[in-house]
Amino acid sequence: MAKKIGVLTGGGDCPGLNPVIRAVVRKALNEGFEVIGIKNGWKGLVQNFTQKLDLKSTSGILPKGGTILGTSRTNPYENNELLKKAKQNFKKLKLTALVAIGGEDTLGVAAKFSKDGFPVIGIPKTIDNDVPLTDSTFGFDTAVNIATEAIDRLHTTAESHHRVMVVEVMGRHAGWIAVDAAIAGGGDYALIPEIPIKIDELIDSIKKRKKRGKHFSIIVVAEGAKLSSGKTILQSEELDAFGHVKLGGIGQRLAAMIEEKTGFETRVTVLGHLLRGGSPSAYDRILGTKFGVKAVELIMQGKSGYMVSLQGNKIGAVKIEKILGKLRTVTKEYYAIAEEFFG
């Protein structure tokens, strides 16, 4: 019987997904495997919607953003009917193993599938960089570069018009993008989910900058940042298949408060999905390639239920179950580096 590896990408798209797919295909073919792409995440496994992956279908995808396989937020464990179809199709496809590329939700499903006896290897993906037990996830470097370029551009118009510019970036539970972009782009403040926003302190700092002759400010805020009341600003309270609400709006709320309390004209730029789109950076292409190769190596070793991870300068692996229910968040020590340049 032919050895066959399935590949799927789930959750939000991310620069670097295509380099991972390409690496899995290259390594797998070199080792004598067939490769099948599962279209649109776990939804494709439920619907048995697939495509053959080979050298031709993966040629030229290294610099492309997004994912050639498509994605979704389908959760097969949402009900028994979806789960039954997904498991039947796994068997029907006669997969030796499945490579599931995604964040905490996709990996959570992967862990359950492995526990149910289906061989699965996970690859961590998120621009938020909040997956634990890996020093970095691909897509994060690209997102920080995009945010940094945006801040660089906003500096000139903020200074010209004597305005406060609020830059809202992604970051549901972790503020890595906001902190790193603020450091790299010379932002004056970084507001993150890990630390409640103390609006009075922020207003006071902006006023102090004005007294020093600084008639503009750049404030970088993560979408999941909370006011000191502890309330998260939402676009919608409707839940997706994994129980997540749609975040967004903290930038607008913050801008209104700043303008009212300081008299500074304040504008908001929401980078949103711009951070997830476009060509991946060289670093993310390389990291994604290393992750893809390692995933196939783990399959060849007969492993299941493991997630590929970056540990220092080495590519290793950890049991997926060890990362579930946890987040890699910004530490006080790391945030303190950015604070040195605030105000």
Residue with tokens 């590519």: 315
The CA-based angle 293-298-304, given to 5 degrees, is 135
Residue with tokens 């796994």: 90
The DSSP annotation for 25-82 comes to HHHHHHTT-EEEEETTTHHHHHHT-EEEE-TTTTTT-TT--S-TT------GGGSHHH
128 catalytic residue (yes or no)? yes
What is the distance in angstroms between the CA of the first residue and the CA of the last residue of the chain? 65
Tokens matching residue 214: 């600084």
Per annotation, catalytic residue among 128, 180, 188, 284: 128
Q: 225, 197 in Cβ contact below 8 A? A: yes
CA dihedral 268, 272, 275, 278 (to 10 degrees): -110
Q: Which strand ranges, in their side-by-side order, compose the sheet holding 314-319?
A: 50-53, 34-38, 4-9, 97-102, 120-124, 306-311, 314-319
Tokens matching residue 321: 């179950």
Q: 171, 193 in Cβ contact below 8 A? A: yes
Q: Which strand ranges, in their side-by-side order, compose the sheet holding 266-270?
A: 189-191, 217-222, 164-169, 266-270
Q: 99, 308 in Cβ contact below 8 A? A: no
Residue with tokens 């909370």: 226
* Residues annotated catalytic, as ranges: 128
